[in-house]
A = this chain, B = another copy of it.
Amino acid sequence: MSELRRDPIVNRWVIISAERASRPMPPWPAPAAPDGSFCPFCEGNEHSTPPEIMALRPAGSAPNGPGWSLRVVPNKFPALTLQGAPAPEDHGPYQRMDGAGVHEVIIETPDHRATLGAMDAGRVTDMLRAARARFRSLAADSRLACAQFFKNHGREAGASLPHPHAQIIAMPVVSRRLIEETCAARERFRETGSCVLCHVVAHELAHGKRVIFQTRHFIALAPYAARTPFETWILPLGHRARFEQETDEALADLGAALSRVARAIGAALDSPPYNLILMSLPFREGGEESYHWRLEFLPVTSRLAGFEWGAGFHINTTPPEEAAARMRENS
C-alpha cells in the first residue's frame, strides 16, 4: 500500500508509491492498437483493466465486454487505494498517513487515435458527465476529502498510455493547492464581499483582451497571470463552487466549449501535449460563496526548471493577450 508523507516545513504531502514504478510505459507515439502494440484501453481488451465501475453501453450489452462508448475503471497501478480509516500519525518531526484513496480512469472512447479537439462534442460531454457521476459518488464517502480530475495528453505531459483517457484521484486530505486557493478566496470574500473569480469574469468581459469566447454558461479566457504559453481557463459565467453540481444542459455547453478550446490550442501550437485539470471546492468544506470552480488547460511547451522548482514562480514567454488573440482567430 502506498503512503502519504507530509513535508516537515510546509503543507505539502507526497505520495510514496513504489507499486507505481512497475507500470509499463509503451513507446510513444504508440501505433494504433490494431496493427501495433497492445492497448489495454481498446475495445476487445476489456479484461486487461480491473472490472468497470460504470460504462456507456447499449441496453443489454454485458459489462466488461465490447460495445461501449465510454468506460470508467479503477487504475491498475493506483497511486492510492481505499483501505482502513486513514488518519495522520506523527513520526518525530514528520507526519504520515496510509495512502487511502481512489484512483480511477475514464476511457473516453474506443477510438485509440481520437483527440479532444477532433472528437464529437457530445463525446466530450459524456466524459464530463461521467466525471460528474464519479465526483458525486466519491463525495458521498466520508473518508475522502476531495478529488482531483485531470487528463494528461502526450508523453511529455506525463501520459503513460496514448489511448484517450482522463483520471480521478480522490484523497483523504484536501490537496495543497485547494487549501491555498480556498483560504485565499475566503479571505478575499471577507475583505471585498465578492468572489474573486466573479470579479475576474466581469473585468475580462468589460476589457475583452484576454477573452477567447463566451457561451451560454461559460467563458474561455487566457488568465492574466498565465504560467505557460496558451494556458486557458474555462469557468462558469455565474458563481458556482462545485463542478459536480452542474446540470446536464450546462455540461453539454461545457463539452462544446472544451472541444473548441482544444481545437484552438491545437491549431495555435500544432497539437501540443497538454494537461487538463479541474479545480472544484473540496467535498466537505464550506466556502460555497467564495470559491468558483474552473477547468485549466495547460499546454506543455517547456520543461519546469530549477527556477520554478526553487522560487515557485513561472516564466511565461507568451503574453496572455497575444495567446488570446491567436486563439480567437482559431476558434
**Residue ranges of A at the interface with B (Cβ–Cβ < 8 Å):** 5-18, 20-21, 79, 92-94, 148-152, 155-159, 167, 169, 171, 175-178, 180-181, 184-185, 188, 196-197, 199-200, 203, 207, 223-227, 275-279, 296, 298, 300, 302-320, 322
Whether the pair A150, B309 counts as a contact (CB closer than 8 A) is: yes
CA distance A148 to B307 in the complex (A): 7
- Shortest 10 CB-CB contacts between residues of A and residues of B: A158-B305, A150-B306, A277-B310, A176-B312, A175-B311, A21-B317, A177-B312, A275-B306, A5-B225, A92-B203
Whether the pair B318, A18 counts as a contact (CB closer than 8 A) is: yes
Q: Closest residue of chain B to A194, judged by CB?
A: B93
- For the complex formed by this chain, how many copies does it contain in all? 2
A188 neighbours in B (Cβ, 8 Å)? 9
Whether the pair A279, B185 counts as a contact (CB closer than 8 A) is: no
- On whether A8 and B305 interact (CB within 8 A), knowing A79-B315, A176-B311, the answer reads no
- On whether A316 and B93 interact (CB within 8 A), knowing A197-B8, A309-B150, A311-B176, the answer reads no
A207 neighbours in B (Cβ, 8 Å)? 92
A315 neighbours in B (Cβ, 8 Å)? 14-15, 17, 20, 79
- On whether A224 and B184 interact (CB within 8 A), knowing A14-B313, A21-B318, A278-B310, the answer reads no
CA distance A130 to B10 in the complex (A): 30
**CB < 8 Å neighbour of A203 from B5, B93, B196:** B93
A7 neighbours in B (Cβ, 8 Å)? 223-225
A306 neighbours in B (Cβ, 8 Å)? 148, 150-152, 157-158, 167, 275-277
Given contacts A7-B224, A14-B316, A167-B306, 10 further A-B contacts (CB under 8 A): A5-B224, A5-B225, A15-B314, A16-B226, A21-B318, A92-B203, A148-B307, A175-B311, A175-B313, A177-B312
CA distance A177 to B21 in the complex (A): 28
Whether the pair A148, B310 counts as a contact (CB closer than 8 A) is: yes
A312 neighbours in B (Cβ, 8 Å)? 12, 175-177, 180
Whether the pair A20, B317 counts as a contact (CB closer than 8 A) is: yes
A225 neighbours in B (Cβ, 8 Å)? 5-8, 12-14, 94
A10 neighbours in B (Cβ, 8 Å)? 180-181, 184
Whether the pair A9, B277 counts as a contact (CB closer than 8 A) is: no
What are 27 A-B contacts with C-beta separation under 8 Å? A5-B224, A6-B225, A9-B185, A10-B180, A12-B225, A14-B225, A14-B227, A14-B314, A14-B315, A17-B316, A21-B318, A79-B315, A93-B200, A148-B306, A150-B306, A152-B305, A152-B306, A155-B303, A156-B303, A157-B305, A158-B305, A158-B308, A167-B306, A169-B307, A175-B313, A180-B312, A279-B310
Whether the pair A181, B9 counts as a contact (CB closer than 8 A) is: yes
